[in-house]
């Protein structure tokens, strides 16, 4: 399949009530392992990619290094590959779109694109974020690729008190609608954990909803019943691998003194 065909396939996997499962990867080796396990598509998380390369999260990994990682992952599989591109390393819509074009040059057919001010405070105003999304869509359309723009809102992730999440729902829904109008393909709401609110978002959103699987989130079967279209695992596969590696290393290094 060419890039355009992979993008179309990836979009088709986002079905309400029958979510695509993305067990997030961070390099070519992890991508090959997850592909061999039966994945239908691959996606990175920004934190594990940064950590695996010796950087902090939040666009601290140099953009060119990220492109190298993306290219190595796309080159190891025929599956569609989506890259967590955070805020596209730009606030200006045209500059962000140009950077996403460079990301597409690696073979990626989708990206996570978040509305928080990376390295700053708060979220971009909805009109400004919609303009950034629209510029990316125009650029991708000119290339003839139905790029999957997974528009992420950080409303819930930034509010650690889950009891306050219900009050954020009107803004979340307004952002989902604005992002859809701007050309987004999906709506990602990390940090939203409550079944009732997840169901309400799925019902109101014009875009397929992505929920991250983390402690406290309903299981995959329940998320499917709630209408979720995409379940990702974010940094948790990487964290689990590092924990196992650390424990195995501790055992091996302590064997001689045992």
pLDDT tens profile 225-254: 999 999 999 999 999 999 999 999 999 999
pLDDT tens profile 163-198: 999 999 999 999 999 999 999 999 999 999 999 999
CATH topology of domain 3-251: TIM Barrel (3.20.20)
* Residue 203 parent element (H or E): helix 195-204
- pLDDT confidence of residue 212: 98
- pLDDT confidence of residue 117: 97
| 210 contact partners, CB below 8 Å, separation of at least 6 | 150, 152, 186, 187, 188, 189, 228, 229, 230, 231, 232
- pLDDT confidence of residue 255: 76
pLDDT tens profile 96-105: 999 999 999 9
Cα 222 to Cα 16, 196, 218: the distances in Å are 12, 11, 6
Taking residue 135's Cβ as centre, other Cβ atoms within 10 Å add up to 22
**What's the predicted TM-score (pTM) here?**
0.96
CB 22 within 8 A of CB 232: yes
d(CA 28, CA 129): 31
Residue 225: which of 204, 245, 200, 199 has the closest Cα?
Answer: 199
* Residue 64 parent element (H or E): helix 63-74
Residue with tokens 């691998």: 241
The residue ranges of every structural domain in the chain are: 3-251
- pLDDT confidence of residue 258: 57
Structure tokens at 106: 């690696």
Indicate if the pLDDT at residue 94 is higher than 90.
yes
């Amino acid at each position: 399949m060419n890039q355009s065909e992979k993008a179309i396939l990836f979009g088709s996997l986002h079905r309400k009530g029958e979510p695509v499962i993305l067990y997030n990867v961070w390099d070519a080796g992890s991508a090959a392992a997850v592909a061999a396990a039966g994945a239908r598509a691959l996606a990175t998380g920004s934190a594990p990619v940064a950590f695996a390369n010796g950087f902090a999260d939040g666009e601290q990994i140099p953009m060119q290094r990220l492109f190298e990682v993306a290219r190595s992952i796309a080159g190891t599989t025929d599956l569609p590959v989506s890259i967590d591109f955070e805020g596209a390393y730009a606030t200006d819509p045209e500059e962000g779109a140009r950077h996403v074009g460079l990301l597409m040059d690696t073979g990626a057919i989708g990206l996570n694109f978040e509305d928080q001010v990376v390295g700053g405070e708060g979220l971009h105003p909805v009109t400004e974020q919609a303009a950034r999304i629209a510029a990316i869509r125009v650029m991708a359309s000119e290339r003839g690729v139905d790029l999957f723009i997974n528009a992420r809102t950080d409303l819930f992730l930034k509010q650690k008190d889950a009891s306050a999440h219900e009050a954020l729902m009107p803004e979340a829904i307004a952002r989902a609608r604005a992002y859809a109008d701007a050309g987004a393909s999906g709506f990602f709401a990390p940090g939203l954990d409550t079944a009732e609110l997840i169901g309400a978002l799925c019902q109101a959103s014009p875009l397929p909803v992505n929920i991250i699987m983390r402690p406290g989130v309903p299981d995959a079967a329940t998320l499917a019943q709630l209408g979720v279209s995409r379940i990702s695992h974010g940094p948790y596969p990487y964290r689990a691998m590092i924990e196992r590696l650390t424990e195995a290393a501790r055992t091996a290094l302590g064997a001689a003194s045992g």
